[in-house]
Copies of this chain bind each other. A is one copy, B any other.
């Protein structure tokens, strides 16, 4: 599926100093060669991976890790910000997401520095913070509506860059997404809000006032992209006429960012052997014997995620990157298998202490190292199939090319 991306969407969509917003085709689907249905399938598939990676981030936060993610979403009315929150962030556990919308500042907020309310809303460690609008309003609407003079808003570009640098140094991954529909598409969406009784609550009579300043807003956005898309906190500018594309692209970029954080399940400070014995004392031997089949599941699940992650990571990687990704999976698998073996041995030993007769009877159903080898084969098999599939699709792409 990820072969439908011909390039890494982070490369395709990232704004640089030379970024030219005027020539952005708002209906394009840069880098993605699938249609709407394929995009929705891929979004849902990535969502599962995103969801597990988010849980790892959350678990690390609980264990004292400092890392987190800040997703900033900017765009004019009807750009689709709400849809990103609903359909992208809606794919992960709500407990792991800290959502914050920034509207017109309150009297209290206005009495402080413009970053005051932003800093107060930063996500805690382990969370994905999502800002629906952000500090960038203070160089966008504030500039277009002349709320402050240029000598006030102009220095903010540098100030925001410096401040985001400190965020990133503190362990936050900052991802900035701008949703950019065309002028005509905005009209279509506003008309729908006026016409449909179930959408009217979203419309405000002020929306047309903002629309009348379209060109000034585009100019202000263009400056934001040129001046605040930094190495540490890049802007991804999304053509947003097709909602399915912007949702897919953000899901994909967020997933890839989480993959690169190389999140592992945190190590615990207690001994599984000791706790297992304490808990077993409160169980009947029959109930305890039942609990042996569970370990396998987690290893299979973790391997699935690792494989998908590797597949993504080496989708457009050179050979060295690919080799190091494979080495990382191999080492992770070895670690998990060692854990599995220890757990199984300990569980069986404990059952023998608790109920020797039951232990003898259930020994056959408790996974053994032979099963571990079977898992090993299964994983290799799957990896081989994936890699074959990929080669096939490369082949067919080549074939198509040579036909042209």
* A interface residues (Cβ-Cβ under 8 A, vs B): 59, 62-63, 82, 85-86, 89-90, 93-95, 97, 99, 101, 132, 183-184, 187-188, 190-192, 194-203, 205, 208, 211-212, 265-266, 268, 270, 272, 275-276, 278-280, 282-284, 287-288, 290-291, 294-295, 297-299, 301-302, 336, 339, 343, 347
Q: How far is the CA of A98 from the CA of B383 in the complex (A)?
A: 41
Q: How far is the CA of A275 from the CA of B208 in the complex (A)?
A: 9
Q: How far is the CA of A211 from the CA of B211 in the complex (A)?
A: 60
User: Are B94 and A275 in contact, CB atoms less than 8 angstroms apart?
Assistant: no
The one of B62, B95, B208, B212 that contacts A99, using a Cβ cutoff of 8 Å? B95
User: Are A90 and B101 in contact, CB atoms less than 8 angstroms apart?
Assistant: no
The one of B90, B266, B294 that contacts A196, using a Cβ cutoff of 8 Å? B294
Q: How far is the CA of A43 from the CA of B202 in the complex (A)?
A: 28
- Min CB distance A39 to B, Å, is 21
- Min CB distance A59 to B, Å, is 4
Nearest CB to that of A270 among chain B residues? B205
Q: Point out the residues of chain B lying under 8 angstroms from A85, CB to CB.
A: 93-95
Q: How far is the CA of A282 from the CA of B284 in the complex (A)?
A: 75
- Min CB distance A196 to B, Å, is 4
User: Are B90 and A200 in contact, CB atoms less than 8 angstroms apart?
Assistant: no
User: Are B191 and A279 in contact, CB atoms less than 8 angstroms apart?
Assistant: yes
- Min CB distance A349 to B, Å, is 14
- Min CB distance A216 to B, Å, is 15
Q: Point out the residues of chain B lying under 8 angstroms from A195, CB to CB.
A: 272, 276, 291, 294-295, 298, 343, 347
- Min CB distance A158 to B, Å, is 32
User: Are B187 and A298 in contact, CB atoms less than 8 angstroms apart?
Assistant: no
Chain A to chain B contacts (Cβ below 8 Å), 18 pairs: A62-B201, A86-B95, A95-B99, A187-B279, A187-B282, A187-B287, A191-B276, A191-B279, A191-B288, A191-B294, A192-B291, A192-B294, A195-B298, A197-B302, A198-B298, A201-B265, A203-B275, A208-B278
Q: Point out the residues of chain B lying under 8 angstroms from A279, CB to CB.
A: 187, 190-191, 194, 208, 211
State the majority secondary structure of interface residues on A: helix
Contacts A93-B85, A265-B198; A184 near B287 (Cβ below 8 A): yes
User: Are B200 and A265 in contact, CB atoms less than 8 angstroms apart?
Assistant: yes
User: Are B275 and A196 in contact, CB atoms less than 8 angstroms apart?
Assistant: no
Q: How far is the CA of A260 from the CA of B197 in the complex (A)?
A: 21
Q: How far is the CA of A89 from the CA of B96 in the complex (A)?
A: 13
In addition to A63-B201, A85-B94, A86-B94, 13 A-B residue pairs with Cβ atoms within 8 Å of each other are A62-B201, A85-B95, A90-B90, A95-B132, A184-B284, A191-B279, A191-B280, A191-B288, A192-B294, A194-B275, A195-B347, A196-B298, A212-B282
- Min CB distance A184 to B, Å, is 6
- Min CB distance A311 to B, Å, is 20
Nearest CB to that of A56 among chain B residues? B198
User: Are B93 and A94 in contact, CB atoms less than 8 angstroms apart?
Assistant: no
The one of B86, B101, B265 that contacts A93, using a Cβ cutoff of 8 Å? B86
- 10 nearest A-B residue pairs (beta carbon): A196-B298, A59-B201, A191-B291, A86-B93, A187-B283, A200-B268, A198-B298, A194-B275, A205-B270, A195-B295
- Min CB distance A362 to B, Å, is 15
User: Are A99 and B90 in contact, CB atoms less than 8 angstroms apart?
Assistant: no
Nearest CB to that of A214 among chain B residues? B282
User: Are A297 and B203 in contact, CB atoms less than 8 angstroms apart?
Assistant: no
Q: How far is the CA of A190 from the CA of B291 in the complex (A)?
A: 10
Q: Point out the residues of chain B lying under 8 angstroms from A298, CB to CB.
A: 195-199
Nearest CB to that of A187 among chain B residues? B283
User: Are A291 and B188 in contact, CB atoms less than 8 angstroms apart?
Assistant: yes
Q: How far is the CA of A297 from the CA of B197 in the complex (A)?
A: 11
Nearest CB to that of A295 among chain B residues? B195
